[in-house]
Structure 1
Amino acid sequence: MRSLLAISLLFLSIFSAKAQENKGVTVSVVLENVLSEQGEILAALHTSETFMKGMGIDGYETQAKKGQLVFSFTGIQPGVYAISIMQDLNSNQRMDFEENGMPKEPYAMTGTMSMGPPSFQDASFEVGTEDLEIRIRF
């Protein structure tokens, strides 16, 4: 009887450990330098498949507030991701552009920003097994 109890406890502990491993990590984002309270802040967590193509695998939206904004993506599995953020000044749920193709609204990404459209490689970061904080500046 004791061996049956011991085996049951062993399986239960293995199952519990696997369940904890699969819950993912939290990626906290600190957005710095929001210059106005106009419109909304829209953020998206992307994989290489969703980058610059759509909504991303997770999103965040809130009313814009001057200064610093902190939010999180939770349950993120290890992998390579990028975050895009924009301030939707006119609340139309999309980026607006000047006639010359330049964005009219503030935006930022993880990684390095260069001239021209951003690439996933330049914007990407790696998520491991530990919670992560990322600072992004408009």
Structure 2
Amino acid sequence: MKTLTSIILLTLSTFFGNAQESEEKGQSITVTIENITNNNGHVLLTLHNETTFMKAAPLKSEKSEIKEGKVIITFKNILPGTYAIIGTHDQNDNNRMDFYDTGMPKESYGVSNNPVMYGPPEFAQAKFMVTNKNLDLNITF
């Protein structure tokens, strides 16, 4: 009986936790990428803060089909803060970026703010602020 009670309480707390989370109102970040070289695979976008950028799992991730070399992806319910987005054209649909033995990427990629990069992306170059309005960003691969 004690186990059953624990399971019910855990289920209810999960339900109410998810309900509370879905009621949080945040902003939307809509990302447009228009220069994709082909329609193979998907585009993967990941949203990061400074702690997760190039170090840990993203805060959110989205995946989109490519149509005529273009994708539009929206992250919803983003709370105010400082973020960066990393995107890659996952041509072979293995849900990750592939690299040559030299460490260079095989698949095209880009980050928010479209900085000129001579090495791995840095959060300082890619960061942007979410405040009290929706954002529209363009990323170039």
Smaller-chain TM-score range? 0.7 to 0.9
Instruction: Say whether 1:136 aligns with 2:139.
Output: yes
Deviations 1:73-106 (A, max 9, x none): 1111111000011011111111111122110001
How far apart, in 2, do the equivalents of 1:97 and 1:130 lie? 37
Alignment correspondent of 1:117? 120
Q: Which amino acid aligns with 1:117?
A: P
User: Structure 2 matches for 1:35-74, cutoff 5 A?
Assistant: 35-74=37-76
Alignment correspondent of 1:101? 103
Show structure 2 runs of 5+ residues with no match: 1-23
Higher Cα Rg, which structure: 1
Show structure 1 runs of 5+ residues with no match: 1-21
Deviations 1:51-75 (A, max 9, x none): 1124311111122333221111111
Contact 1:40 1:63 in 2 (8 A): yes
Contact 2:64 2:73 in 1 (8 A): no
How far apart, in 2, do the equivalents of 1:33 and 1:40 lie? 14
User: Which protein has the bigger strand share?
Assistant: 1
Runs of 4+ residues deviating >6 angstroms: none
The root-mean-square deviation of aligned C-alpha atoms, in Å, is: 1.3
How far apart, in 1, do the equivalents of 2:97 and 2:140 lie? 18
Q: Percent identity?
A: 38
- Give the TM-score normalised by structure 1: 0.79
- Give the TM-score normalised by structure 2: 0.77
Query: Displacement of 1:46 after TM fit?
Result: 0.6
How far apart, in 2, do the equivalents of 1:51 and 1:65 lie? 28
User: Structure 2 matches for 1:77-92, cutoff 5 A?
Assistant: 77-92=79-94
Alignment correspondent of 2:27? 25
More off after superposition, 79-88 vs 54-63: 54-63
Q: Secondary structure at the match of 1:122?
A: helix
